[in-house]
Amino acid sequence: MSRTQEAAVTSGAGSAARPDTTAGLRVAEAALRAPSIHNTQPWRWRASAARVDLYADRARQLAVADPDGRNLTISCGAALHQATVAARAHGWSAEITRLPDPGDPDLLATLHLRPGRQLYEAVQDLQALQERRTDRRRFTSWPVPPERLARLAASVGVDQVRVVPVTAAPDRVRVELLVSRATTLVKADRRLADEQRSWLDRSEVDGIPSDLLPGPGAQPPSRSSRFVEEPAEGDVRGAIETSDGLLMIATDTDDAEAWLRTGEALGQLWLHAMNDGLSVVPLSQVIEVDETRTALHHELLGGLLHPQLLVRIGWQEIARSPLPRTPRRPLADVLVAEAPGH
């Protein structure tokens, strides 16, 4: 069976798979492995037979680095994308209503599950997402051709979101300098640095195990990043010369719906990149810091689009060792009791 063939897997092409009583739970469970800022997993799910509600978990919001909830909502958007892929993989179509209740801004989205067809492609996509990891080891020096970046950017189809390839040399230099500047500013701010550190080696179910992060002595040396204590000397120049791909996910507006859609776009982008053999590392610090976010808005995006998430794209060594997975909370911890009458 070809990778893209829209063939039914178990239910027979054209036959309808009806959501059963555990459908919502299965969708929520499949979304547990979505990426999230510092692996905070800031989501909660209310699941019933044919409907799944996604809530923000404000107790998991980064109070210092993310006071508006941008990264929290982007993370939930990535989980929403993973949930829709899971629904399709189970043979259900999923219709999304974003921010359905103006009186409850924490209810980020509702997924309505309907009978559909189980597609081979969706099963493959879900498998890929379950295997996805943020691999921060330095990419090979093999360049990501600009046409490939452009194709990847164009493959993302989320309304109100633009994925902008950063390919012109002056833009790349400027963006790398801003990434470095943001890292320096955060390291100098005790509250920000302490909050970030509190999510390293946090627990068996959340946070980032520090042995997954390239240490200062990693070979080849890691790029300057929020998790590398001592940025390698000449790192900015090196990043430009070795042509890591850079994509900026941007939106027309700068509100909760834009952030949610950004997360959905991140999920799509990651999936398409993996299918293309490419590795993805989100870089959110340059957006978290007001000074560097404002510079990106004006200097890179002409004051028109709002930068939401920078993404570094590249090729990992083919013979690299497998990276252990980050932990996740169990399904029971993220479920909200079903409302009476649902």
Query: Where does this chain bind ligand FMN (CB under 6 A)?
Result: 35-39, 71, 74-75, 78, 133-134, 136, 208, 225-227, 281-285, 309, 326
What is the identity of the amino acid at 275?
N
| Residue number, 116 or 267, with CB nearest to ligand FMN | 267
The dihedrals phi and psi of 257, each to the nearest 5 degrees, come to -65, -40
- φ, ψ at 227 (rounded to 5°): -105, 0
Q: How far is the CB of 287 from ligand FMN (least distance, A)?
A: 9
Q: Which is nearer to ligand FMN, 11 or 130 (CB)?
A: 130
How many CB atoms sit inside 10 A of residue 3's CB? 8
Handedness of CA 138, 143, 149, 152 (dihedral sign): negative
Residue 83 Cβ vs ligand FMN, minimum distance, rounded to whole Å:
15
Q: How far is the CB of 301 from ligand FMN (least distance, A)?
A: 18
Whole-number minimum distance, CB 77 to ligand FMN, in Å?
8
Q: How far is the CB of 135 from ligand FMN (least distance, A)?
A: 8
Minimum CB–partner distance for residue 132 and ligand FMN (Å): 6
Q: Smallest distance from the beta carbon of 283 to ligand FMN, in angstroms? A: 5
Residue with smaller CB distance to ligand FMN, 23 or 78: 78
> CA 77 to CA 35: how far, in whole Å?
10
Which residue, 6 or 333, has its beta carbon nearer to ligand FMN? 333
- As a whole number of angstroms, the distance between CA 32 and CA 82 comes to 8
Smaller CB separation from ligand FMN, 154 or 205: 205
User: Toward ligand FMN, which CB reaches closer, 36 or 118?
Assistant: 36
User: Is the Cβ of residue 37 or residue 89 nearer to ligand FMN in the bound state?
Assistant: 37
Q: Is the CB of 167 or the CB of 225 nearer to ligand FMN?
A: 225
Answer whether 169's CB lies under 8 Å from 175's CB.
no
- Residue 19 beta carbon to ligand FMN: minimum distance, rounded to whole angstroms: 27
Closest-CB residue for ligand FMN?
35
